[in-house]
Amino acid sequence: MDVGWHLRLSRERSFTVLVAPGLVPAVEEQLHIYPGWTMETVHKEGYAHIVLTRTS
């Protein structure tokens, strides 16, 4: 999953991803691997809008 690469290598303060609702747990798992980020999720019609923000 590309989200893990962004969490690890990004210099951005935050970024947004759109994923299928069934993939939200996979993004949450990436946060356990790469700590220092928070995740806000809004479920829309057919997808999840996730904003990941650096905490450190």
Q: pLDDT for 1-56, tens place per residue?
A: 589 888 989 899 999 999 999 999 999 999 999 999 999 999 999 999 999 999 97
What pLDDT, on the 0 to 100 scale, is given for residue 56?
77
What predicted TM-score, i.e. pTM, was given to this entire model?
Answer: 0.87
- CA dist 6 and 14 (Å) reads 10
Cβ atoms within 10 A of the Cβ of 26, count?
13
pLDDT of 2 reads: 85
Segments forming the whole domain that contains residue 27: 2-54
The pair phi, psi for residue 10, each rounded to 5°, is -70, 145
- The pLDDT value recorded for residue 1 is 57
As for how many domains the chain has, the answer is 1
pLDDT of residue 26: 94
Task: Report the b/e string of 8-25 with b at 16+ CB within 10 A.
Answer: eeeeeeeeebebeeebbe
